[in-house]
Amino acid sequence: MITTRGIEVNPKQMDAICQLKSPHNAQEVQSLAGKMAALGRFIPRSVDRCVPFFHILNAGTKFKWDDACEKAFVELKMYLVSTPVLVAPEANEMLYVYLAVSARAVSEILISRAKGSDERVV
């Protein structure tokens, strides 16, 4: 959602996910994974955090919602409550790219550091 502050998570989407109960079948996990994919830009290392869900969705895998799935689900909801606001960079502002590399994904984040201000996610 674009606001005067920048790009932020739509509060309705965030509330809908925060109100979700743990999935009870693979179709509900697939729906959850789709919602997380749509909000992935706001969640650091979102692919790694969703790995337990992807294991459930593997073909031939019987549905089993275990402790790892529940932990990932709760952590993702916590991240959504404290998501950053993405802002546009200013002219002549120094930008930094940070990479997070895992066995499953490469993620990046673009940070701006204006003089006299904190880091901001671009």
Instruction: Provide the pLDDT confidence category of residue 82 given band limits of 50, 70 and 90.
Output: confident
**Which one, of 45, 17, 31, lies nearest residue 103 by Cα?**
45
Q: What's the average model confidence in pLDDT over 73-85?
A: 82
Q: Which domain holds residue 39?
A: 11-81
- Domain count of the chain? 1
Is the full-model pTM beyond 0.85?
no
Q: Is the CB of residue 18 less than 8 Å from the CB of residue 74?
A: no
92 part of a folded domain: no
112 part of a folded domain: no
Look at residue 16 and tell me whether its pLDDT is greater than 90: no
Q: What's the average model confidence in pLDDT over 63-81?
A: 90
Higher pLDDT, 33 or 5: 33
109 part of a folded domain: no
- Beta-carbon contacts of 112 under 8 Å, excluding residues fewer than 6 positions away, are 87, 89, 90, 93, 94, 95, 96, 119, 120, 122
Q: Please tell me the least confidently modeled range out of 24-33, 48-57, 103-112.
A: 103-112
pLDDT at 31: 92
100 part of a folded domain: no
33 part of a folded domain: yes
Query: Which amino acid appears at position 8 of this protein?
Result: E
114 part of a folded domain: no
31 part of a folded domain: yes
